[in-house]
Structure 1
Amino acid sequence: MPRALLSALLLFSSLLPHSALAQWQQHQWDVMGTRASVTLWSEQDAAPLFAALEKEMSRLNILLSPWVEDSELAKVNRLAASEAQTISAEFYALLEKSRDYYQLTGGAFDISFASAGHLYDYREGTSPDEETLQEATRHIDASNIQLLPANQVRFTDPGTTIDLGGIAKGYAIDQGIDLLKRAGIEQAWLSLGGDSYVLGDHRGRPWGVGIRHPRDKDAIAMRLPLSDIAMSTSGDYQRYFISKGERIHHIISPETGKSAGELVSVTILTEKSIDADALSTSVFVLGREKGLALINRLANTSVIIIDQQGEVYYSDDLVPPE
């Protein structure tokens, strides 16, 4: 090839728009006790974005984990019954949001479930004895959590323990999506455990997001075409053990201190992941009838429920597949 023609071709290629270099890029990592995953379309190397996402979710884990000794949440659990604790505005806002869902759901969403819930060890497969459980369940009542002026919180019951496991991952997803949007990303799928958000579409068509089959980890119960929406699935298969033929899982009924038993999977679709996360937990605890009634009252919110018999139920805005 003549040198002049080669030079011209090289010059032409350098003038091509950067979109010619755009591609799907993926990353996975472990955080907040589960697996995080992101897929995005970018013209640039996404490694700095992936690092920023990891940093942000690690920050939230240090803030909100009950298992990190010096996290704000752990400190509140240790000290708030003795005296009011001053906490960050971010943590305070999450406690306010949790209180709102406690009120909306008639107590089904209650972050003080941990007063009994933390007595279970899902790795070791152990449960508290009945007497211990009954005593701990007496302390499950979100009204024992007082939110005071100047970002202060105190517990009126010394037996109260809180856990934001029903809302923290959704909040982390929202923070991650905001980070991607600020970086100019328009198409992405960010997931954290059972919570996810699909940003934009999948290059001209919806994302195909699956709901895991609750009794076959390698199967998909159904696949949903989604764009620009949050999705959260709560299932009795995510953290559990079997004891004397009974499935003991992490979604605790505040009334009994035991695993909620009517449903096996609840999927919420709505605008923000923090709301999807809280509502999937709430509906799981409420059960089919009350759960459907709740979601049918809420704007721009949908639910898909699978019960113990494998029957599937949909909120009024969804049309079941033929």
Structure 2
Amino acid sequence: MKSLIAFICSFSCLLSFGQLRQTDVTVKKTLKLMGTRFEITVVAPNEDIGYINIDEAVSEIERIEKIISSWDKDSETSLINKNAGIKPVKVSQELIDLIERSIKISEITDGAFDITYASMDEIWRFDGTMDKIPSEEEIKKSILKVGYQKIQLDQDAQTVFLPEKGMCIGFGAIGKGYAADRAKELLVSKEVKGGIINASGDLTTWGTKVTGEKWLVGIANPLSKDKVFSWLPIIESSVATSGNYEKYIELDGKKYSHIIDPRTGYPTTGINSVSIFAKQAELCDALATAVFIMGRDVGLHMINQIDGVEAVVVDSKNKVHKSSGIMFDTN
């Protein structure tokens, strides 16, 4: 999942930096973490302190990756999946809490967001190796293993159990946002006055420019990289976008998005991108996927009922729709 912000111009050039005081500098570093591109920007008294702050954020992101990665065979998440249908696995309270929040998001999105989607990775592959769509029988079989309601959490024993063999959990639709939030929390605790954590487009900010001006992000046209619908200020806030423009397959002349509805097992249609604005990047990350799957009307209706959350949806005809709190002209 990659943000429209990233889509316009290499992740960070949409962020507007003002005139800094002579005693402050903006320090930025781009690197690969969690299998994707992270860009970390901080406002610091000097470059040396800025790079120390960034290294601290990187260590925090790497720590989280060791907990939630599905690719690391020794991660807590991999151990849960390996023991599906066998036994509960004792994990950190941090992972228990993340799973619990994920289940709550599943409940409010009627299962459009579901961390047990991972079992469907066996039949849908977007790495160029698919030459035909899965059969109806294969799809039906894959979704039998999906269902957030099946996850068994024991807070007292601090264990997680997936009761069916072949069940898997994955944090692809929430993990980068969570890591960005935690890195931000760490830097705020270190009294870093402002900055941006950009996790391949799942972006969170804090503070302001030294001038007191707000950080700005642009809402872009997915089909025209240089066109910005509007610039929006974000204060102590986050944004994330789900889009079908970077990861998809084409078979028999039809385009299939990598975003799969966990309730049906089929790729979603009708939307090009969804941008979600909220305080936490974790919530933005998860709801962007959910709204993409739910569709324009149902998704925006849900967003309009959640305090502190807004959305911009670009449909398959490249028309822009927005939730009630987004104040710009879409015409």
Q: How does 1:177-196 map to 2 (within 5 A)?
A: 177-196=184-203
Cα separation, partners in 2 of 1:34 and 1:211, compared to 1, 3 Å: farther
- The answer to whether residue 305 in structure 2 is matched with residue 300 in structure 1 is no
Q: Which stretch of structure 1 is more off in the superposition, 203-212 or 181-190? A: 203-212
1:73: how far off? 0.8
Secondary structure, in 3 states, of the residue corresponding to 1:25? Answer: strand
1:125: how far off? 4.2
Contact 1:125/1:242, CA 8 A, preserved across alignment:
no
1:212: how far off? 4.1
1:250 maps to which residue? 258
- The answer to whether residue 162 in structure 2 is matched with residue 155 in structure 1 is yes
Q: CA-to-partner distance for each residue in 1:79-112, whole Å, 9 max, x for gaps?
A: 1321111111111111101110111111111111
Q: 2:88 and 2:169 mapped to 1: Cα distance?
A: 15
Q: Which stretch of structure 1 is more off in the superposition, 250-259 or 207-216? A: 207-216
Please point out which of 140, 145, 157 is paired with 1:134: 140
1:3 maps to which residue? none
Q: Which stretch of structure 1 is more off in the superposition, 260-269 or 240-249? A: 240-249
- The answer to whether residue 86 in structure 2 is matched with residue 82 in structure 1 is yes
Q: 1:245 and 1:90 mapped to 2: Cα distance?
A: 44
Please point out which of 177, 181, 186 is paired with 1:174: 181
1:284: how far off? 0.8
Q: Which stretch of structure 1 is more off in the superposition, 156-165 or 123-132? A: 123-132
Larger Rg: 1
Q: CA-to-partner distance for each residue in 1:255-298, whole Å, 9 max, x for gaps?
A: 22122112111111111111111111111111111111111111
Secondary structure, in 3 states, of the residue corresponding to 1:20? Answer: coil
Q: 1:34 and 1:137 mapped to 2: Cα distance?
A: 27
Q: CA-to-partner distance for each residue in 1:30-60, whole Å, 9 max, x for gaps?
A: 1112110022211032111121122111121
Greater RCO between the two (CA within 8 Å, min separation 6)?
2
- The answer to whether residue 242 in structure 2 is matched with residue 234 in structure 1 is yes
Contact 1:125/1:241, CA 8 A, preserved across alignment:
no
- The answer to whether residue 64 in structure 2 is matched with residue 60 in structure 1 is yes
Counterpart of 1:134, as a letter, is K
Q: 1:221 and 1:125 mapped to 2: Cα distance?
A: 36
Q: 2:327 and 2:56 mapped to 1: Cα distance?
A: 39
1:14 maps to which residue? none
- The answer to whether residue 275 in structure 2 is matched with residue 271 in structure 1 is no
Contact 2:257/2:269, CA 8 A, preserved across alignment:
no
Q: CA-to-partner distance for each residue in 1:179-234, whole Å, 9 max, x for gaps?
A: 11112112211110231012122333222212343234565454322222111111
Secondary structure, in 3 states, of the residue corresponding to 1:298? Answer: coil
The size of the alignment, in residue pairs, is 304
Q: Which runs of 4+ in 1 moved over 6 A?
A: none
Contact 1:295/1:303, CA 8 A, preserved across alignment:
yes
1:4 maps to which residue? none
Q: 1:197 and 1:278 mapped to 2: Cα distance?
A: 14
Q: Percent identity?
A: 29
**Structure 1 residue ranges without an equivalent (≥5):** 1-18
1:21 maps to which residue? 23
**Structure 2 residue ranges without an equivalent (≥5):** 1-20
Counterpart of 1:21, as a letter, is T
Q: How does 1:270-289 map to 2 (within 5 A)?
A: 270-289=278-297
Please point out which of 92, 95, 102 is paired with 1:98: 102
Q: Could you state the TM-score of these two structures normalised by the residue count of structure 1?
A: 0.88
Contact 1:26/1:38, CA 8 A, preserved across alignment:
yes
Contact 1:211/1:233, CA 8 A, preserved across alignment:
no
Please point out which of 190, 193, 197 is paired with 2:204: 197
1:164 maps to which residue? 171
1:242: how far off? 2.5
Please point out which of 111, 115, 118 is paired with 1:107: 111
